[in-house]
Chain A
Amino acid sequence: EIVMTQSPATLSVSPGERATLSCRASQSVSNSLAWFQQKPGQAPRLLIYGASTGATGLPARFSGSGSGTEFTLTISSLQSEDFAVYSCQQYNKWPYTFGQGTKLEIK
């Protein structure tokens, strides 16, 4: 199965600053990569699919990039509501594996 590795495990950033989260696949997943945001007690929310396409209603401060094995989620200016856990998932090949998540916390 394809192993997805996210870094860092925890990222401490101040509101208004930029956050950059990474996701690496153990083999190419083309652009079949999604990013999710999850807050405590809630279901995951799709942010980005196709590595760089924003889900409906996604604020412009969120962007995704990459292809093949290296992917990045960037949040350009952090708002209070952005502090959460972010997970990537490849959907190029079954099983559709997730990364272990990056916790974005307030510095």
Chain B
Amino acid sequence: QVQLEQSGAEVKKPGASVRVSCAASGYTFTDYYIHWVRQAPGQGLDWMGVINPDDGSTTFAQKLQGRVTLTRDTSTRTVYMELSSLRSEDTAVYYCARGPPLGDWGQGTLVTVSS
């Protein structure tokens, strides 16, 4: 079955960077885009960006342009999301998801930004 396994929770200081991984299994890795969605405490879902694992091309939400990077390693079937210049407003649960439509989700990774 399809599985997306994310890395564990992170605590970072303002200004730092964080990298979250998403390891895929159960399907042909290069056949489906991987999206990143975040959810701040008590808030709605916020689409961040997408990577095509086949060629590595990416598209991002404009408000995150310049701060977010998505990469993939086809040998390990893993996608990485790196967010830089962290601020308190980046505290959220970060999800990877396969699609569209986003039918399969990782379990989520809590990133806490605090001094």
- Chain A residues with CB under 8 Å of chain B are 1, 32, 34, 36, 38, 43-46, 49-50, 55, 87, 89, 91, 94-101
Contacts and interface: CB of A to CB of B under 8 A. Distances in A.
Given A43-B95, A43-B106, A43-B108, A96 B47 contact: yes
A98 B45 contact: yes
Nearest to A48: B101
B82 to A, nearest CB: 18
Contact of B102 (A46, A95, A97, A101): A46
Given A34-B100, A89-B47, 12 more contacts: A34-B101, A43-B106, A44-B37, A44-B102, A44-B105, A46-B103, A50-B101, A87-B45, A89-B45, A91-B100, A95-B47, A98-B45
Contacts of A95: 47, 49, 59-62
B46 interface: yes
B107 interface: yes
A47 to B, nearest CB: 10
Contacts, number: 61
A95 B38 CA distance: 13
B44 A101 contact: yes
B6 to A, nearest CB: 10
A97 B103 CA distance: 16
Interface of B: 35, 37, 44-47, 49-50, 59-62, 95, 97, 99-103, 105-108
Contact of B44 (A50, A55, A94, A98): A98
Contact of A96 (B35, B62, B107, B108): B35
Given A1-B62, A95-B62, A100 B44 contact: yes
A73 to B, nearest CB: 14
Contact of A46 (B46, B50, B59, B101): B101
